[in-house]
Amino acid sequence: MDIILTVIVAILAMAIGCAAALYFSRKNAKSHANEIMEKARLEAEVLKNNEVMKGKEAGMSIKSEAEKEANARLSKVQTSEAKLKQREMTLNQQQGELQRRRNEVDNLKVNVDNQMALLEQRKSEVDKMERSVRDTLEHVSGLSAEEAKEKLIESLKDEAKTTAASYINDIMDDAKMTANKEAKRIIIETIQRVATETAIENAVTVFHIDNDEIKGRIIGREGRNIRALEAATGV
């Protein structure tokens, strides 16, 4: 009986020991598993943080590159806009200068036309004066020698025509040729200044008469014909 009881107690003790061992074994395994899981969690957290940092760094790098590219493009756009504005300003200045020159040319053309009209008037006056001088000479000379009379009149006529026509044509040609040059103002002013002074001078001719008799007839008694000629021509 004691043996059986002892055996039973031993079996119970073994069962309890096995149960305790199993319990503690499971507890240790669970604890170890928890440690492994915690370690894995920590490692995952570290990896996560590392990846997050890498992602942030990559994002910041991408953002920085994007900002640099955007700034570069903005700088190019601003430079292009500045060049465009400068070109527009230059174009406006050129257009203004062109319009100013056009106005000057128009004004100069008007002035040249006026001067040419004035020259035509002067030419007409010279022709009229020439005819007046010729008529006066014919009237006051009283020449009986037809050859001397014709020589005197033709000499005066040809010389006056040649001088006046040459002078007027030269001025007209110069005015036309220089109408579009800067020097045209000086030419036009010169024309205005000397046109009146030279109109009469171009109609006056000096010629020589060798025959004293003809000279006397032209001068007239006591210079009567000369005074009449001066009164008629204003010279």
Please state, in angstroms and as integers, the Cα–Cα distance from residue 70 to each residue in 14, 66, 133, following that order. Answer: 81, 6, 92
Q: What is the DSSP letter of 220?
A: -
Residue 66, pLDDT score? 79
Q: 207 lies in a domain?
A: yes
Let me know: does 115 contact 190? Beta carbons within 8 Å: no
**Helices of type H across the chain:** 2-141, 146-177, 184-201, 212-219, 224-233
- CB contact set of 125 (below 8 Å; sequence gap of 6+): 199
Query: Which residue stretches of the chain have pLDDT < 70?
Result: 1-34, 36, 40, 44, 133-235
Residue 77, pLDDT score? 84
Q: How far apart, in whole angstroms, are the C-alpha atoms of residue 132 and residue 101?
A: 45
Q: How far apart, in whole angstroms, are the C-alpha atoms of residue 113 and residue 204?
A: 27
Instruction: For Cα atoms 43, 47, 52, give the angle at the middle one, nearest 5 degrees.
Output: 145
Residue 198, pLDDT score? 47
For 75-101, write each residue's pLDDT tens digit.
888 888 888 888 888 888 888 888 888
For 129-167, give the DSSP string.
HHHHHHHHHHHHH----HHHHHHHHHHHHHHHHHHHHHH
Residue with tokens 């025509």: 161
Q: 12 lies in a domain?
A: no
Residue 11, pLDDT score? 64
Q: 35 lies in a domain?
A: no
| This prediction's pTM | 0.31
Give the structural domain span for 131: 109-233
Helix (H, G, I), strand (E, B) or coil at 21: helix
Q: How far apart, in whole angstroms, are the C-alpha atoms of residue 216 and residue 144?
A: 13
Q: 17 lies in a domain?
A: no
Q: How far apart, in whole angstroms, are the C-alpha atoms of residue 203 and residue 127?
A: 8
Number of structural domains (the chain) is: 1
